[in-house]
Amino acid sequence: MSIQTTIAAVTDVLPPSLARIARVVARTPSIVVDSTITELASTCQTSVASVIRFCRAIGVDGYAALRMAVAAELGRESAQFGAPAGFGSEISAADSLRQATAKVAALELLAIEETVAALDYEALARAVDAVDIADRIVLFGVGASGLAAADLGQKLLRIGRLAVVASDSHEATAVAALGTTRSVAIGLSHSGTTRETVTFLQTARSAASITIAITGAASSPLVAQADHALLTHAREPRLRAGAMVSRIAQLAVVDCLFVGIGQRRHDATIDALQRTSEATQPLHAPGGTDAD
């Protein structure tokens, strides 16, 4: 996982003084390259000692190593994605529309690349095993995570699996309480701290369900309630109406999980997809295609 993505993943669990440094660096990563350790500490209204602690907290051996890592990463990613000057920095009012959309596109491509590259395939296989033998799959997420939950639920329904996507926290908790050893509960939360989703998995686990977390935070309350954790990696820009980049990372994991499930019963999956496609064909306008 890259330095910038690591910083994004741990910001919410860092002590306040270190989190302040993380947010400044996330907003303008080039500040690390352009500033001395004293200058960065002053900008972040903290101490040099705190900057050193921040480096250690993200797994870097000192400020010099952080500067080198960030400089190399910015150069590599700017060249890789053909991004404009200032790549890695937050979207600002000064950006042109082309620059702003280029930044978002680059971040979304990186989210998919880093998420898949760092995916724990043993954990994925265990999650696939659990869903494959389940007689009921319950999914829940809040906000944009709810959209990813709905996407997986729809995919599972299309191949004949009993999938329930809870519409609110009360319904999610109630359904989770009826879990058994033959049911699976999947909770999605980028931060891993969304109280409703944590409660959902906790309730499901207490009822003997197998629990799966899809989250961007390995050390989070959601993972603590999960039998299997599938981690996403994303740098979310501040300028957003809801999750953007993290949602793309979640959808990448959702698709990997679905493909694994479909492969277990390959012929039956292909047959189900074909039959559901044919069944919905009359609902499309003449000359249209089945793109749903």
pLDDT digits (tens, 9 = 90+) for 230-239: 999 887 665 4
Which pLDDT band holds residue 77 (cuts at 50, 70, 90)? Answer: confident
Enclosing H/E stretch for 100: helix 97-117
Which pLDDT band holds residue 244 (cuts at 50, 70, 90)? Answer: confident
Cβ–Cβ < 8 Å for 107, 234: yes
- The 8 Å CB, 24+ separation contacts for 99-105 are 100/239, 103/237, 104/237, 104/244, 104/245, 105/81
Fold of 121-280: Rossmann fold (3.40.50)
pTM (global) more than 0.85: no
Distance from C-alpha of 274 to C-alpha of 68, rounded to nearest angstrom: 52
C-alpha pair distances (Å), 205 with each of 106, 125, 223, 250: 38, 19, 12, 22
Residue among 8, 245, 232, 238 at smallest CA distance from 106 = 245
For the chain, the structural domain boundaries read: 3-89, 121-280
> In this structure, what is the dihedral angle of CA atoms 236, 240, 246, 247, given to the nearest 10 degrees?
-170
The correct answer on CATH 1.10.10.10 for the domain covering 3-89 is yes
Name the DSSP class of 281.
Answer: G
Edge-to-edge strand ranges of the sheet holding 228-231: 163-165, 136-141, 183-189, 210-215, 228-231
Q: Which residue has the tokens 């990372």?
A: 249
pLDDT digits (tens, 9 = 90+) for 117-155: 999 999 999 999 999 999 999 999 999 999 999 999 999
Average pLDDT, the chain: 89
Residue by residue, DSSP assigns 237-270 as -SS-SS-SHHHHHHHHHHHHHHHHHHHHTHHHHH
Distance from C-alpha of 90 to C-alpha of 85, rounded to nearest angstrom: 12
Checking if the pLDDT of 9 tops 90, the result is no
Q: Which amino acid is at 234?
A: A
CA contacts within 13 A on the Cβ side of 141 = 27
- Per-residue model confidence (pLDDT) at position 110: 84
Name the DSSP class of 46.
Answer: S
What are the residues facing 147 on neighbouring strands? none
Which pLDDT band holds residue 82 (cuts at 50, 70, 90)? Answer: low
Distance from C-alpha of 36 to C-alpha of 1, rounded to nearest angstrom: 25
Residue among 194, 148, 199 at smallest CA distance from 173 = 199
- Per-residue model confidence (pLDDT) at position 85: 46
Checking if the pLDDT of 242 tops 50, the result is no
